[in-house]
Amino acid sequence: MNNNGEDTLPENKNVPGFVEPLQEVDMAVIALDSANVGIWIMDPANRKFLPSRRTKELFGFLPEEEMSFEDAMSKVAEKHKKKCCRGY
């Protein structure tokens, strides 16, 4: 983004040509989809794992399949497992 603000959304979030205002979440989803990356939320203390559809694909799952914390950890190299479980 440049300093003159040309790459930012207008204050009212209305973008010419769009019917509804874009939200920051919409912009994040568009950016992540365009980058073709996976994201996830992981809580090792409660063993909860919430992957994006792309994360599932990258780990070898179908987008509609369930992917558990254990499934995710089975894909992590042994030398990195402790670091993952500490919450880094």
86 by DSSP, 3-state: which?
A: coil
Q: Residue 21: pLDDT band by 50, 70, 90 thresholds?
A: low
Q: Residue 66: pLDDT band by 50, 70, 90 thresholds?
A: very high
Choose between 44 and 63: higher pLDDT: 63
Q: What is the pLDDT of residue 67?
A: 93
CA–CA gap between residue 80 and residue 59 (Å, rounded): 16
Q: Distance of CA 63 to CAs 17, 40, 55, Å?
A: 31, 13, 8
Q: What is the pLDDT of residue 82?
A: 82
pLDDT at 5 over 90: no
pTM: 0.58
